[in-house]
Structure 1
């Protein structure tokens, strides 16, 4: 019985169903089980996040869709993340296409950039496929290695193109996951289902089930693209995929009981801006204005929190506050930072397993001191490199880094004990400790919040402890930020006034400036200045013309 299109009021949905037989087949099977039609949207919106049962369908690529299914029969509490993609063509078609490509692509040099690689393979496929209306018997087409073009029935073209590109240009069955900009993490736990962390709907389960051998084949194939050997001899690997996503692999059943596991952390090609972070209430306008003032004056900051608390997102968003003509050096184990500054040097460690050829965080931090940067960004400080970082701060090179610590006490304990062993008298070179976490917000949903911003005052020899004051604190009861008010910032008095050549009596002017900067950020958010680079340009323009003039410009927009 033909599908009844009259039950759908959205013409865009009807057009997609008519264009994509595999989507129509999925919807027919889904509704036949008594489930309601999903809501089709071309792009997820803020209001979709508020749905208790988000039965949603959205496209992520040409004729590839994601269905968020709350009506699952599973009792494990997970909603489903269903990938709806073109059906794979007959096995013989793929075998013939693979054999032809193996011969005819010998002279092709695959580009490093992933989009160019897809374009090259798609161009090859179009030039070497002859579409026909009639069915093709691949047992009688002759010697495949001598054919110049492969006959393919038109109805098989979409499936062949999609799956051939996945295998030859992408990373196979994980391609649709990587193509979805709404995902944060993709988790292969070993033999079993693939799980994802969705930006709007949290943890979801994919129906895609992988076996032990299937995972090993996938990981070894992917390792060719990210240029690191994965084997039983070197089972733990961190690497970067061609699209910029970070992958961590633990290889082999002898280490991971359920088989090889892998976690992919996705990064947007354009990071979230500070106005986007503000719109999510991860921090408030006054906190952001405070960090604006501190970073513009070259303060050293550690952004602290547990894994997946949003540390790196916050760090990149705050870079908009660093003057555009400053030189920045970033040092990371796995490159993931994106900065808007033109005078930016990005460096990464190299682990070859040999002391003479490996390059450590310690090595790169030492080199950075000779590069005369205005700021040094370290992806994460966790070892002996902390000594060089604190030496850099002491010699006037401010450092920004992420760090694993839940609060100021834990931060101080970690940096003053092995393996870091920073003398307590040197801890005051770090100016600010910002702490954030993933917490339970309104409605029971997990949200990211900056929990506190603390100023480090210095070492108290009488008590043998490090003194600090929390300038901002998040109140879980009201989901609001508590500010200690005027006179609460020691850095305003000890650092900012001095750097600006101002007097102690001018301290009140800094708090007035703080409020004006907070108003500017609020107005920028209200005016929907959200793009990462647009925000950076706006802040740079503000620095050129002054706070008052820029605020007036915003008011007139």
Structure 2
């Protein structure tokens, strides 16, 4: 049994890769299968997965190890593409004899492997079983000391890992992996070099379909020709979107994996990355403490969910949070937190039996008496229920796909959301976030994510900017003295605007101090914020002086 197929030693150029007909198809079309002398020509099937070799004239820009000494990545500049970057996967190569033993051992393991115990590491178990079965079938004596580690690497890669995309999935610099079909280079989104092609090409439909099915099973979902579209989450919380065979994608099966950070960005991380600065973070902190509604707006890949997650960590520990999402991406360090996710229908036809949508979950969340309702993204009728909740005094946070605040408002007030224009100001403040070109590179990166503007919504056509990003020098300009929301906070607590601005400065200094001390872990930041609430309440209690 071959899960992903044999890796080729050399590969043809991309322009030479063409679909190869099976022998049965050739017979049907009348192709000759015999040479001039009458001898039968053996049909040689091309390798299912191709790793193109790096051209001799390519310039190596960066090289780093993934799983030394077996795999590494090379970022190269290609002269034939005008100097554009490409991502090259380099894995240790098997000799012809090593590959034959590997294929045989892989087939035996898939047939006879014993299941591991409950506390046994799967990779260790694979290695032990491989050695046991190699001895049982007389393969061990054919494997040299140098060959064994290489064979074990490929066994673990194909059985426990994800085969051809194993190296990419273990590269921490990759944000996004995109397989667009057969005979097309796999593309990745690299943290330093953005969208670049790789030397990995799927050349066999069966191998690609097998990988998609494996990913689907790992996500505990279903995909087939009857249901060829999938939106799911892998065990490591990576987001998976896939299409199966040629049902809806003419070039063959496709899939995209959006990588999930094991440790979400904290508010200090966002300050360190300059997505926001200390003053803007302190501003949001004050508003969120007072149950103001925040919407993070931006396009795909702008980092909206990461910013939403970091801002949500500023919610008071005593407040109750309910999150509503299609795919669970929000990850909070908060004990009083109810997490709800939607469920697809398991019925056929027009009857959506068992479907639980965002609308149902947002409606049900009101019965949990939350202080804050966080919806991962609003795009449909759930927006109407969310705004009804905001009108009754609940705090709210969400993200919205739009290129500007004006277009976000138009989306809200149009089908299928249909939010009444009078309810739009219930979004108290919006953060417009984009992926931008930086005036100068930071840690080798020429682009980054920035909150371009922070605007308060006074009415459906009355927006006031209180902070903006200056692209010339990569700094933020704030005008919080004109903030309507800070005036509301001041009135609520019976203090002056100047006292509220002073508190904002105190919190900005507190966050600046956390950054200077290197306190950036979400758990640590949450503890420090809790201690701030206890030691520095706002407004400060006034001490009455006793009169004689």
Q: Name the TM tier (shorter chain).
A: 0.7 to 0.9
Distance in 1 between residues matched to 2:141 and 2:432, nearest whole Å: 59
Deviation of 1:290 (Å): 0.5
Q: Identify which range, 537-546 or 303-312, moves more after superposition.
A: 537-546
1:269 aligns to what SS in structure 2? coil
**What residue number does 1:45 align with?**
none
Asked whether the 8 Å contact 1:379–1:401 carries over to 2, the reply is yes
Deviation of 1:382 (Å): 0.1
**What residue number does 2:545 align with?**
none
Q: Identify which range, 528-537 or 58-67, moves more after superposition.
A: 58-67
Distance in 1 between residues matched to 2:234 and 2:414, nearest whole Å: 35
- Whether 1:96 and 2:88 are equivalent positions in the alignment is no
Distance in 2 between residues matched to 1:62 and 1:234, nearest whole Å: 40
**What residue number does 1:489 align with?**
483
Distance in 1 between residues matched to 2:268 and 2:353, nearest whole Å: 45
Q: Aligned match of 1:306 in 286, 293, 299?
A: 299
**What residue number does 1:180 align with?**
171
**What residue number does 1:215 align with?**
208
Distance in 2 between residues matched to 1:489 and 1:527, nearest whole Å: 31
- Whether 1:402 and 2:379 are equivalent positions in the alignment is no
Structure 2, gaps ≥5 residues long: 1-50, 539-548
Deviation of 1:264 (Å): 0.9
CA RMSD of aligned residues (A): 2.9
Q: Aligned match of 2:226 in 229, 233, 237?
A: 233
Deviation of 1:76 (Å): 5.5
Offset from partner CA, 1:374-423 (integer Å, 9 cap, x none): 22211110000001111121222212111012222112111111111111
**What residue number does 1:63 align with?**
69
Alignment of 1:241-390 (within 5 A): 241-354=234-347, 355-390=352-387
Deviation of 1:314 (Å): 0.8
Deviation of 1:485 (Å): 4.0
Offset from partner CA, 1:230-275 (integer Å, 9 cap, x none): 2232222111112211011133335323322211100111012222
Deviation of 1:130 (Å): 5.6
Deviation of 1:64 (Å): 4.6
Distance in 1 between residues matched to 2:115 and 2:518, nearest whole Å: 49
Q: Aligned match of 1:474 in 464, 469, 472?
A: 469
Length-normalised TM-score, structure 2: 0.80
Asked whether the 8 Å contact 1:190–1:211 carries over to 2, the reply is no
Distance 1:294 1:63, change over 3 A: farther
Distance 1:150 1:308, change over 3 A: farther
Asked whether the 8 Å contact 2:101–2:139 carries over to 1, the reply is no
Distance 1:128 1:484, change over 3 A: closer
Distance 1:101 1:305, change over 3 A: same
Asked whether the 8 Å contact 1:416–1:422 carries over to 2, the reply is yes
More helix by share: 1
**What residue number does 1:551 align with?**
none
Alignment of 1:422-441 (within 5 A): 422-441=419-438
1:56 aligns to what SS in structure 2? strand
Distance 1:235 1:304, change over 3 A: same
1:413 aligns to what SS in structure 2? helix
Offset from partner CA, 1:425-467 (integer Å, 9 cap, x none): 1222221111111122214833211011111223xxxxxx442
2:78 aligns to what SS in structure 1? coil
Q: Relative contact order (alpha carbons < 8 A, sep ≥ 6): 1 or 2 greater? A: 2
Distance in 1 between residues matched to 2:500 and 2:512, nearest whole Å: 18
Length-normalised TM-score, structure 1: 0.78
Q: Identify which range, 326-335 or 288-297, moves more after superposition.
A: 326-335
Distance in 2 between residues matched to 1:541 and 1:150, nearest whole Å: 64
Distance in 2 between residues matched to 1:83 and 1:468, nearest whole Å: 49
Q: Aligned match of 1:157 in 148, 165, 170?
A: 148
Deviation of 1:482 (Å): 2.2
Distance 1:156 1:427, change over 3 A: same
Asked whether the 8 Å contact 2:294–2:428 carries over to 1, the reply is yes
Q: Identify which range, 387-396 or 203-212, moves more after superposition.
A: 203-212
Asked whether the 8 Å contact 2:113–2:129 carries over to 1, the reply is no
Structure 1, gaps ≥5 residues long: 1-25, 39-54, 132-137, 459-464, 549-557
Offset from partner CA, 1:143-191 (integer Å, 9 cap, x none): x5xx898974322222222221222222222222111222111111222
1:70 aligns to what SS in structure 2? strand
Offset from partner CA, 1:173-226 (integer Å, 9 cap, x none): 222211122211111122211111111222222111122513223212222211
How many residues of Structure 1 are paired with residues of Structure 2 in the alignment? 475
